[in-house]
Amino acid sequence: MIELFLIGIGTGNPDHLTRQAVKALNAVDLVMIPKKSGKADLAELRHAILAEVVTNPAVQIVEFDLPVRDAAHADYQTGVNDWHDAIAAVWVKTLAAHAARRVALLVWGDPSLYDSTLRIAARLADVSVTVVPGITSLQVLTAAHAIPLNDIGQAVTITTGRQLQDGWPDGAQTLAVMLDGNCTFQTLDPTGISIWWGAYVGMPEQIIMAGPLVEVSAQIIATRAKARAAHGWIMDIYILRKA
């Protein structure tokens, strides 16, 4: 039986790791780091985090090539499931190549919030999973803007850019939108909507903007495009709130 630790690492700042996460990373035999095509910086960030917090010389670190999802697949759910199957197969191959019983994967933010690592891990046989929660990008975004996530006595809807394409959810006042590579907020009627946006939140490259959507939408889109071109990747998130 292999013990798999899924460790939330916040948004890339080593200071976001909990003491529990640091202890777990120093207690495993192996840490697996995915290499994503065209996004070498993401692997380098994981290495940098490990270099700062791992003091146990016995911990092995190994990279694996992350399969690419077929974004053109006719059915989104099927395409994602096929992608997860491919990732699980790579994990199995990597684990088989190393004599490790305690293995860790570093998960951006927290494994509970719009992350598929737990679903992929469920595909592995003879593996027990331990989740070490981390700081979420939502926490870091609200801290960067110094705002509460919810309005007084109001609920919050956490959703994705893909879901926002269908329009503003009925009855919702505040939306936290993740995984939006298309700036879907620009498809909404901006009247009465405010936005709090951030990219690379909690990292030295952090960029944040806020204001009435009608006033800052174009600026956010332009800034996002420029930052992505400069870094080769971008992770951003935003909150929308109706007056």
> pLDDT by residue (tens digit) across 63-78?
999 998 877 777 888 8
Provide the residue range defining the domain that includes 95.
2-135
Residue 160 has pLDDT above 80, yes or no: yes
What pLDDT, on a 0 to 100 scale, did the predictor assign at position 41? 78
Identify the sign of the CA torsion 164, 71, 33, 49: negative
Q: Which of 104, 135, 166 is the last residue of a domain?
A: 135
24 plus 142 within the same structural domain: no
Structural domains counted in the chain: 2
Q: Which of 83, 105, 135 is the last residue of a domain?
A: 135
160 plus 98 within the same structural domain: no
Q: Which of 79, 114, 135 is the last residue of a domain?
A: 135
For the chain, what percentages of helix, strand and coil (3-state, to nearest 5) are there? Answer: 35, 25, 40
67 plus 95 within the same structural domain: yes
Which residue, 81, 104, 107, 74, is CA-closest to 91? 104
Residue 70 neighbours by CB under 8 Å, 6+ apart: 79, 82, 83
Please give the Cα distance from 147 to 196 (Å, whole number).
9
21 plus 79 within the same structural domain: yes
pTM of the model: 0.87
168-176: average pLDDT: 95
Residue 113 has pLDDT above 80, yes or no: yes
Confidence class for position 39, pLDDT limits 50, 70, 90: low
CATH number, residue 203: 3.30.950.10
199 plus 183 within the same structural domain: yes
What pLDDT, on a 0 to 100 scale, did the predictor assign at position 40? 66
CATH number, residue 62: 3.40.1010.10
In this structure, the strands spanning 174-178 and 102-107 are unpaired
14 plus 100 within the same structural domain: yes
Please give the Cα distance from 23 to 175 (Å, whole number).
35
131 plus 147 within the same structural domain: no
Please give the Cα distance from 94 to 21 (Å, whole number).
22
70 plus 180 within the same structural domain: no
105 plus 150 within the same structural domain: no
Helix, strand, or coil here: 5? Answer: strand
Q: How much is the mean pLDDT over the chain? A: 92
Angle between helices 40-53 and 19-27 (to 10 degrees): 90
118 plus 22 within the same structural domain: yes
